[in-house]
A and B are shown apart, each in its own frame.
Chain A
Amino acid sequence: MTKLSYVRTEMLPEREPPTSATGVIGWMRQNLFNGWMNSLLTLISLAVIFWLVAGLLPWFWSPTWNAGSLGQCREIIAEAGKQSGACWGVINERWPQMLFGFYPQDLRLRPTLAFFLLFVALIPVLFAMISRRMNWLLLVLVLFAATFFGPGGAVMTVLQIVLGLGLAWLAWTVVATDRADRAAQIKEGVKRLPNPLIFSAAFVFLMPWLLWGGSVWVPVGVALGFVIGWLVFRLLNALIGSLAALILAIVTPVLWWLFLNGLFASAMQAVLPYGLEPVPSRLFGGLLLSVTIGVTAIVISLPMGIMLALGRQSDLLIVKSLSVIFIEFIRGVPLITLLFVASVLLNIFLPPGTNFDIILRVIIMATIFAAAYMAEVVRGGLAALPKGQYEAADALGLDYWKAQRLIIMPQALKISIPGIVSTFIGLFKDTTLVSIIGLLDPIGLSTSIRADTNWNGIVWELYGFVALLFFIFTFSMSRYSMYLERRLRTDHG
């Protein structure tokens, strides 16, 4: 008797999915033509896209790159037998101005270098996955590239050789040993390269020096102020208690910056004179101005906002009321008003002759404005944490700062990432408002450029270029925030 079985005992081999469900066709069936309604919508969308591109592309594709004026553009377009077209000559002639404003032409290497070094400094802060070797390699690479554009001379050649050798050595180590080998080496006790965050910290002082120039000892002295504060805290913490030490650690550096730093810088300058040619703020303009204001305000407003958010939740009455008043006042006032205060009112209130840099004033206003919003965004993150987290931190015996640093903030900030990045993007775009107080940011400059008799009447090309510049920055910021959210996701969803 044969044993009958209706159960298949062996697995069937996998078969290819039907061609209608794979490849391009499958994807299209799935995503574009899924049902008659979707098919109809797809066709309509395609028609709209085609209509837009067909209208815009001939306008974009206009051989006017070398035109010297709007009139020449029109001649070229007429010769090409077209109805209308973009006049790209204005971008060709003015793009350096749109990027750097009135920054002296022979010194433009400095802001460019600062811009690229900004990324080198940001990478260890923003991305955890790049190794130390890669980071130092990047730094040396940027510096090495910069030497080729700098002024010549024996010193520069020596520098080039040194940097070139360093570059070669770093590149060789990166190529010769892969990550796993390197990890094994480190385990065996091979000395690691220094932490690249050292450069990030130094960059905070390096950037203003590169942009504004002047004696090298001024930023060195400012950095020294932080060292002094830290030393004061370390020495006095044991002697007079943490609160008094903290207060003194804040007061001492401020006194140093206000009264002694100038003396220190001029004394050191007399002994070891070294500096870059100073560039006054008046000459800043274009994208350089936007990025300077935006980056500085972004970098300062985040820690300031966190402190304000903590202050607002604090049990200390004075700290709490000050934070609340600050946040509510600043949030209750439009940024334009603050900018007018910076440019107009301060001018009248400060004694005449005080030379309080206009860009510094604007940066301060933009920073406190962003900080007030940031405080509320962070407070939202804090409020979203279950109370158990705070209690757990207390139960572990952590003090206030440790609890914040190890338990509360990592979670609260993670929740707030979209809000934080939105505030950053908003702040960066708000920098264009400075054109209203007569600073020539990209928008202000496009007005000036249109006032040139050669380019009067050009609108779309200039605004399009400005939009493109801003889009590059804001879009990368938003992409980064999405990356960060993915990286910090711990719910395994």
Chain B
Amino acid sequence: MKKTVFLGALTVAAIAAGAASAATLDDVKARGKLNCGVVTGLVGFGAPDANGRWEGFDVSVCRAVAAAVLGDPDAVEFVPTTGKTRFTALASGEIDLLARNTTWTFSRDVDLKFEFVGVNYYDGQGFLVRKDLGVSSAKELDGATVCIQTGTTTELNLADFFRANNMSYDPVPIETNAEGQQQYLAGACDAYTTDASGLAATRATFEDPAAHVILPEIISKEPLGPLVRHGDQEWGDIARWTLNALIAAEELGVTSANIDELASGTENPEINRLLGTEGSLGEMLGLDAEWAKRAIKANGNYGEIFAKTIGESTPVGLARGLNAQWKDGGILYVPPFR
């Protein structure tokens, strides 16, 4: 009897969960705020400034979605999440969107029942070494001591890489990136390995960055992207096409500077469709015609966001590399807006 009641309660809860997640768009509109999960702090990708305003590459995705849906890039409730709490926060409905440099993997997509809506940064694991070590390739690291964050995919990638190349290494386990920086600078390890974007950010903080090099080998694929819950395709579409709109805007030459001019109508039908002067793409998403215009205006197009937060002119100093448009030798390739 008791068991039945318990199961019954669980079923009710599950149905209620289904019902609640089926209309995220309505929930967000009713709330007037987008609940967006972000990192507690990662250089260039997301951090609060001195006034408590969140800024960064991943944060811009939140702001773009908020602008598209609610018309206000500041209508976002930022929920800082850690590596351990991020997935439950999303699964439980505490947040509507997780934009927190999360690697798109099979098990996260399929087993954890999330939907990755795209990739906003193609990352990969690299190595940072001192120049005077005289190493120019990761293949020469045989017998090196390597600082490595425990419990991450990078740890497994490292083991795979060294085994595949028949080399040995001595791991120095560390907990956080800050600890890794300290250990590496103190000479506790010859090489420090983590995502290449993180290595670049770390190197930028050194007193003498020129004395350190990031080795050319990238030993893993880390496609980082925003994700939503399974089961609400409409909401997933909104997030996916907002991200796509930012990338397409760069491809089509729509910037925050010329968007108002272009929005009054151009010769290029795809720009017109994107900015809502032609066709009814916004309506299909359940939004108004100017959704993409607002999303792009929030922080600029993908290229502008990249340049402002993590690009070569910032202290993080990342090159576009893989994250360039397909026309420029990168792999950013969005489906057409049609």
Contacts and interface: CB of A to CB of B under 8 A. Distances in A.
A457 B206 contact: yes
Contact of A102 (B39, B48, B182): B48
A278 to B, nearest CB: 14
Given A351-B17, A450-B178, A97 B48 contact: yes
Interface stretch (B79-87, B109-117, B238-246, B270-278): B79-87
Contacts of A448: 40-41, 47-48, 80
A444 B40 contact: yes
B94 A347 contact: yes
A344 interface: yes
B252 interface: no
Contacts of A348: 88, 91-92
A349 B206 CA distance: 46
B71 to A, nearest CB: 21
Contact of B314 (A101, A436, A453): A453
Nearest to B85: A438
Given A440-B80, A448-B41, A448-B80, A352 B178 contact: no
Interface stretch (B49-57, B131-139, B281-289, B291-299): B49-57
A394 B12 CA distance: 54
B79 A352 contact: no
Interface string B162-177: 0000000000000010
B40 A440 contact: yes
A70 B209 CA distance: 13
A436 B82 contact: yes
A97 B50 contact: yes
Given A97-B52, A282-B79, A444-B40, A451 B47 contact: yes
Interface string B309-338: 000001110000000000000000000000
Interface residues of A, number: 37
Interface in A353-386: 353
B13 interface: yes
B79 A438 contact: yes
B124 interface: no
Contacts of B181: 457
A100 to B, nearest CB: 9
Interface in B199-222: 201-202, 204-207
Contacts of B49: 452
B28 interface: no
A280 to B, nearest CB: 8
B300 interface: no
A454 B47 CA distance: 11
B7 interface: no
Contacts of B202: 456
Given A97-B52, A353-B20, A437 B40 contact: no
A70 B205 contact: yes
A375 B182 CA distance: 42
Contacts of A74: 207
Contacts of A451: 39-43, 45-47
Given A448-B40, A453-B316, A352 B16 contact: yes
Contacts of A71: 315
Contacts of B85: 343-344, 437-438
Nearest to B55: A452
Given A352-B20, A448-B48, A450-B41, A347 B89 contact: yes
Q: Which of A435, A437, A438 has the most CB of B within 10 A?
A: A438
Contacts of A70: 205
Nearest to A347: B92
A94 interface: yes
Given A448-B48, A459-B178, A438 B43 contact: no
B239 to A, nearest CB: 19
B17 A438 contact: no
B77 interface: yes
Nearest to A69: B315
Interface in B219-239: none
A444 B17 contact: no
A340 B85 CA distance: 8
A457 B13 CA distance: 46
A403 to B, nearest CB: 41
B41 A436 contact: no
A94 B50 CA distance: 6
Contacts of A408: none
A453 B88 contact: no
B93 A438 contact: no
Nearest to A458: B205
B303 interface: no
Given A348-B92, A351-B13, A447-B40, A453 B77 contact: no
B317 to A, nearest CB: 10
B204 A456 contact: yes
B201 A456 contact: yes
A222 to B, nearest CB: 27
A459 B176 CA distance: 12
A476 B178 CA distance: 31
Contact of A453 (B40, B51, B315): B315
Contacts of B207: 74
A16 to B, nearest CB: 58
A459 B182 contact: yes
Interface string A383-425: 0000000000000000000000000000000000000000000
A467 to B, nearest CB: 16
Contacts of A449: 41, 47
Interface string A274-286: 0000000010000
Contacts of B60: none
A105 interface: yes
Question: Lowest 9 CB-CB distances: which A-B pairs, in order?
Answer: A451-B41, A457-B205, A347-B92, A448-B41, A451-B47, A352-B20, A102-B52, A352-B93, A344-B88
Given A352-B17, A456-B202, 8 more contacts: A347-B92, A352-B93, A436-B84, A440-B40, A440-B80, A447-B176, A450-B41, A453-B44
7 contacts: A101-B52, A347-B93, A353-B20, A448-B80, A450-B41, A453-B314, A453-B315
